[in-house]
């Protein structure tokens, strides 16, 4: 995708591709684009789509395969970002990383919806023939994901960036320290506190998800 | 016995390798092991391949942008987008004027979005585009909206109009608290709330209700979910909890 020519990747790191594009001269850089997006410039939505829809659709296809769910997740991500653009701030990180965060929510929502539909159809089946097992239970992990993605949104920086590198880029704490320039001990204590926070959230609200 | 430090247990929950001493202790210590398991539930929920940072870029089909443009009313187009094609329909959209409200709870600003969509469609060529969002076994989605909570209510959801073999139905996915008494009902409203069509009782979770044949969704684009008392009165209670405008 042309969007990544000598620009920054989804996490704001500079990517040297060796390619150049004449359009770079006239197109806004990512920060300028993010400002215009937040201010409601419609052209900024189109440029953001041009730049990052491929990455987001790639994520959605990885989760669901090509088809209606992947397309729906992609469009819902951009629609939610546009309608919720007032909630984007510089503290939210680079715009593409923010879009990826919304995309994760949309993916988790589709799983949760599928889980609900599964339980409903199984509940109907159970009326006909009662079967053993906990077939109508909420899939705990599906429910946990929705809950904890919401909790990640509540984290400030640098905690959020640190745990996202651990969870979503599979970096070790040593690699995270090297990538971010944050001291090793600080990275470790942030990881510890964030995992505790997620555990607490599950203990407080996870049970409430049970039917 | 020296327990592992809290930080080491967190790293163990992330499946990072530990020092030989820590690893040996963890293998034998039930307390430390339980701690790792408790921390790992969150790790396992989120450190999941499908949620990982994007690795592959794939170009979505043009209809994805078409749906975004329709839902947001944005008339700009991405540089690589093919020339948009209008889909003429028999639906004509009068531009609704904000009008005094009738007996139902006031409309939320989503109506503005509907007007933006209508305006954008008018710019394209005087016809409104009905964009196919998704297609699967239960029919083609011809219009959709999120249902946003009204005021302090924490009810929300989505509504999709599906068409299959020429028959339309409304699929309502409702997230709403359990009601001690009464029930939820879904309605289609005119934007200025001068008319409403009752569609039936809905409950939490997924619902499908048929739409009356011939009903013009351009006239009745607002999906409204109300709480109705069991009082035998078929009219709208005036207590709306969630609403969205189809586009």
Residues from chain B contacting residue A62 (CB–CB below 8 Å): 49-50, 54-56
| Closest residue in B to A56 (Cα–Cα) | B54
Residue B136 has pLDDT above 80, yes or no: no
Q: What is the CA radius of gyration of chain B?
A: 25
Q: Could you read off the pLDDT tens digit of each residue along chain A, which spans 211 residues?
A: 333 334 444 444 444 443 333 333 456 788 899 999 999 999 999 999 999 999 999 999 999 998 899 999 999 999 999 999 998 986 778 899 999 999 999 999 999 998 888 888 877 766 655 545 444 566 788 889 999 999 999 998 899 999 999 999 999 999 999 999 999 999 999 999 999 999 999 988 875 444 4
pLDDT for the residue numbered A141: 83
What is the C-alpha to C-alpha distance for residues B81 and A40, in angstroms, rounded to an integer?
Answer: 20
Note the pLDDT of residue A23: 37
Q: For A20, how many CA atoms within 13 A lie in the half-sphere containing its CB?
A: 3
Q: Does B34 contact A at CB distance below 8 Å?
A: no
State the architecture of A138-211 in CATH terms.
Orthogonal Bundle (1.10)
pLDDT of residue A138: 66
The CA distance from B98 to B192, in Å, is 6
Q: Which residues contact A185 (CB under 8 A, 6 or more apart)?
A: none
- Residue B138 is classified by DSSP as T
Residues 176-215 of B with CB under 8 A from A: 205-206
Does the pLDDT at position B160 exceed 70?
Answer: yes
Of B212, B211, B70, B219, nearest to B130 (Cα)?
Answer: B70
The SS3 assignment for A126 reads: helix
CA distance A201 to B129: 44
Q: Shortest Cα distance from B205 to chain A (angstroms)?
A: 7
Measured between CB atoms, does B77 come within 8 Å of chain A? yes
B227 close to B241: Cβ distance less than 8 angstroms:
yes
Torsion on CA atoms B174, B180, B186, B190, rounded to nearest 10: -110
pLDDT at B91: 41
Domain ranges across chain A: 1-135, 138-211
Give every CB contact of residue A154 below 8 A, 6+ residues apart in sequence.
none
| Nearest Cα residue in chain A from B7 | A192
Strand partners, B143: B161
Cα of B214 to nearest chain A Cα, Å: 27
ipTM exceeding cut-off 0.85 for this assembly: no
Q: pLDDT tens across B6-55, in order?
A: 999 999 999 999 999 999 999 999 999 999 999 999 999 999 889 999 98
Domains A1-135 and A138-211 share a fold: no
Of B185 and B196, the structure prediction assigns the larger pLDDT to B185
Q: Look at B106 and B89; give whichever has higher pLDDT.
A: B89
Which chain A residue lies closest to B37 (C-alpha atoms)?
A199
Pick the CATH number of A1-135 from 3.20.20.140, 1.10.1740.10, 3.40.640.10, 1.20.20.10: 1.10.1740.10
| B54 with A166: Cβ contact below 8 A | no
Q: Which residues of B touch A73 (CB under 8 A)?
A: none
- Quickly count: other Cβ atoms within 10 Å of residue B154's Cβ: 10
Given a cut of 50, whether residue B106 has pLDDT beyond it is no
With residue B244 as reference, give the H or E element that holds it: strand B240-245
Q: Closest to A144 (Cβ–Cβ): which among B10, B41, B54?
A: B41
In chain A, which residue's Cα lies nearest the Cα of B5? Answer: A192
Predicted confidence (pLDDT) at residue B61 exceeds the cutoff of 50: yes
Q: Which residues on B lie below 8 Å from A171 (Cβ)?
A: none
Q: Which of B47, B59, B136 sits opposite A54 (nearest CB)?
A: B59
What burial letters (b/e) apply to B202-223, b meaning 16+ CB within 10 Å? Answer: bebbbbebebeeeeebbbbbbb
Do B39 and A199 lie within an 8 Å CB cutoff? yes
The verdict on B109 touching A (C-beta cutoff 8 Å) is: no
**Could you report the per-residue pLDDT of A15-61, keeping only the tens digit for each?**
444 333 333 345 678 889 999 999 999 999 999 999 999 999 999 99
In angstroms, the CA B59 to CA A54 distance is 5
Tell me if A42 and B43 make a contact (CB, 8 A cut-off): no
Among the partner residues B47, B72, B81, nearest to A45 by beta-carbon distance: B72
Candidates A1, A61, A198; nearest CB to B42? A198
Distance between CA B210 and CA B193 in Å, rounded? 21
Contacts of A2 in chain B (CB under 8 A): 80
E-strand stretches of B89-230? 135-136, 139-149, 156-164, 167-175, 183-189, 196-202, 205-210, 222-228
| Predicted local distance difference test score (pLDDT) of residue A104 | 96
Mean pLDDT along residues B171-198: 86
Tell me the two tokens of residue B127.
């016809």
Chains A, B: CB pairs < 8 Å: 175
């Amino acid at each position: 995708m042309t969007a990544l020519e000598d620009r920054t990747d989804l996490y704001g790191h500079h990517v040297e591709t060796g390619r150049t594009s004449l359009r770079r001269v006239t197109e806004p850089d990512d920060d300028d684009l993010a400002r215009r997006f937040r201010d409601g410039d419609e052209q900024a939505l189109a440029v953001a789509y041009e730049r990052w829809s491929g990455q987001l659709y790639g994520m959605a296809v990885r989760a669901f395969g090509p088809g209606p769910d992947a397309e729906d997740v992609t469009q819902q991500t951009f629609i939610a970002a546009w309608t919720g653009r007032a909630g984007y701030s510089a503290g939210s990180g680079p715009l593409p990383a923010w879009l990826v965060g919304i995309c994760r929510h949309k993916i988790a929502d589709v799983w949760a919806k599928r889980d609900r539909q599964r339980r409903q159809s199984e509940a109907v089946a159970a009326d006909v023939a009662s079967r053993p097992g906990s077939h109508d239970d909420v899939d705990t992990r599906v429910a946990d994901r929705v809950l904890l993605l919401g909790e990640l949104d509540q984290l400030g920086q640098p905690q959020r960036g640190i745990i996202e590198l651990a969870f979503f880029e599979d970096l070790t704490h040593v690699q995270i320290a090297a990538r971010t320039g944050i001291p090793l001990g600080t990275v470790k204590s942030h990881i510890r506190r964030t995992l505790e926070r997620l555990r607490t959230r599950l203990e407080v609200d996870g049970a409430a998800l049970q039917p | 016995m020296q327990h592992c430090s809290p930080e080491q247990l967190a790293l163990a929950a992330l499946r990072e390798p530990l020092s030989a001493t820590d690893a040996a202790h963890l293998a034998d210590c039930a307390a430390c092991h339980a701690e790792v398991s408790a921390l790992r539930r969150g790790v396992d929920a989120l450190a999941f391949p499908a949620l990982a940072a994007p690795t592959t870029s794939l170009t979505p089909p043009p209809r994805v942008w078409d749906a975004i443009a329709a839902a947001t009313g944005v008339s700009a187009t991405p540089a690589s987008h093919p020339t948009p094609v209008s889909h003429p329909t028999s639906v004509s959209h009068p531009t609704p004027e904000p009008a005094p409200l009738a007996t139902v709870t006031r409309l939320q600003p989503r109506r503005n979005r509907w007007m933006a969509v209508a305006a954008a469609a008018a710019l394209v060529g005087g016809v409104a585009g009905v964009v196919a969002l998704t297609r699967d076994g239960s029919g083609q989605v011809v219009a959709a909206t999120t249902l946003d909570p009204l005021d302090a209510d924490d009810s929300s959801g989505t509504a999709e109009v599906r068409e299959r073999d020429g028959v339309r139905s409304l699929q309502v996915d409702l997230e709403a608290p359990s009601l001690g008494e009464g029930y939820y009902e879904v309605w289609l409203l005119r934007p200025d709330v001068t008319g409403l069509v009752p569609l039936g009782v809905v409950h939490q979770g997924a619902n499908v209700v048929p739409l009356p044949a011939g009903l013009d969704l351009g006239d009745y684009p607002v999906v409204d979910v109300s709480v109705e008392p069991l009082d035998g009165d078929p009219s709208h209670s005036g207590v709306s909890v969630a609403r969205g405008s189809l586009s």
